[in-house]
Amino acid sequence: MNILVAHLGTHYVRIGGGVERATCEFANAMQKRGHQVSILYIDTMEGEPYFQISPQVKQYNILFKNKKQILPYKLPLVYRLKREVARLFSQRKAREINALSRGKIYGSRLRELIDVINPDVIASCSIISTKYIIKDAGIITPVVQMVHDDPPTQYPYLSSVEINAVRHSAAIQVMLPYALPTVKRYFPNNYIEVIGLPIKESTHPANLHETKSHYVISCVGTLCDRKNQKQLVQSFAEIADKYPDWNVQIWGNNSNSYGRQLEREIHGSGLESRIMIKGSTKDVESVYASSDIFAVPSKLESFSLSLAEAMAAGLPAIGFKNCNGVNSLIQNQKTGFLVDSPEDYSQALEKLINSVELRERMGKEGQKYIKRFNPDIIWNKWEQLLRKVSEHK
């Protein structure tokens, strides 16, 4: 198959986000399985993604041609003003103005590139990407809509033009079953399939029975309010005095405003030597291998990749019961704890800190559970779906 991946909703070059990682892994896997793969993206520069990409995967920035930028990334001032005025009254109206305005700019260029690539099927990384392809470029190649967001939270803000575009897609892929009711409500006539993210078996699982001078509670993810790392700082601060041989390591780039707020929170707790922001890493397996507990205090997730990888490494995990992309992975009191409140979070930490047997038992159960996301299983499902829609143009 000739597969095109459309990553047209956000920046792409050197961006270490979950969607970008999923895009690169998907492209690499399909290329390795013998398919021709191309990626269309939007960015203010041309260049490589943060994550490794096969040199056989072709990448095109739609804003550039012959190494020169031919289309603007920023909307013209008049459209930006209309969008921001609309945002004061309606988030959906603001999204609609943004979608329509950008579509006018991108449509013909997308058509030009897609005609050259001539794909059998298009995998769209975002709803706005689907809108640009189907409505603005007028492409009739079958599109599979990937759902990387949290539908119950974000779909109420979709504009009518975005919804209408996705209704013309050939299929919709969601990562976890919890998303099905919402997606079916918005797109009742579309074919929908559940395909999770691929999670490799850990080559360096955590050794939870090892005696250490210091034990580690780790947290991995973009530093932001959605990931809610402040809650981990506050919960650990409540119990830190009782467990002087335990530390917290928070992994993520702290160059943004939330990172600075988090540093102030840690400073205010007086635990600068025990709660550390470690920055970004591409060797996340080593993080899990040296940890004893995995904390995921997120408010919102669609599929917590770091949580799934930590479980694959044999770590027990703690998350909030009302966070969909977390409560679909943690089996409460079996692979970790799902809690209702910040106070419960501290208590769950204590339960795991106080029992290496509990940590080991939950860690082993997590490893068993996460095998359902074995890469071969996931990529087989993807190949079957892509073949199905490409053969029924």
Beta-carbon contacts of residue 189 (< 8 Å; ≥ 6 apart):
167
pLDDT at 392: 76
| Complete domains list, the chain, with CATH | 2-198+374-390 (3.40.50.2000), 215-372 (3.40.50.2000)
pLDDT in tens, the chain (393 residues): 999 999 999 999 998 888 999 999 999 999 999 999 999 999 999 999 999 999 999 999 999 999 999 999 999 999 999 999 999 999 999 999 999 999 999 999 999 999 999 999 999 999 999 999 999 999 999 999 999 999 999 999 999 999 999 999 999 999 999 999 999 999 999 999 999 999 999 999 999 999 999 999 999 999 999 999 999 999 999 999 999 999 999 999 877 899 999 999 999 999 999 999 999 888 999 999 999 999 999 999 999 999 999 999 999 999 999 999 999 999 999 999 999 999 999 999 999 999 999 999 999 999 999 999 999 999 999 999 999 999 876
pLDDT at 393: 62
Q: What share of the chain is helix, strand, coil (3-state, %, to 5)?
A: 45, 15, 35
d(CA 2, CA 363): 40
Helical ranges in the chain per DSSP H: 18-32, 77-87, 91-117, 127-131, 151-154, 160-166, 180-186, 229-239, 257-269, 284-289, 305-312, 324-327, 342-353, 356-370, 375-390
**This prediction's pTM:** 0.92
Q: Helix or strand or coil: residue 320?
A: strand
- Could you identify the residue written with the tokens 């970008």? 20
Burial code (b: 16+ CB inside 10 Å, e: under 16) for 307-323 equals bbbbbbbbbbbbbbeeb
Q: Helix or strand or coil: residue 260?
A: helix
Using the 8-state DSSP alphabet, how is residue 217 labeled? E
d(CA 234, CA 174): 33
- Could you identify the residue written with the tokens 């205090």? 297
The CB-based long-range contact list for 190-196 (8 Å cut-off, 24+ gap) reads: 190/145, 190/166, 193/381, 193/385, 195/378, 195/381, 195/382, 195/385, 196/303, 196/372, 196/373, 196/378
Q: Could you tell me if 279 and 256 are in contact, meaning their C-beta atoms sit under 8 angstroms apart?
A: no
Question: For the purposes of burial, counting CB atoms within 10 Å of the CB of 50, is it exposed (0-12), middle (13-18) or buried (19 or more)?
Answer: middle
d(CA 127, CA 277): 34
d(CA 227, CA 12): 21
d(CA 257, CA 267): 15
Phi-psi region of 161 (alpha: psi -120 to 50; beta: other; left: phi over 0): alpha
d(CA 250, CA 15): 19
Return the bridge partners of 293, or none: 217
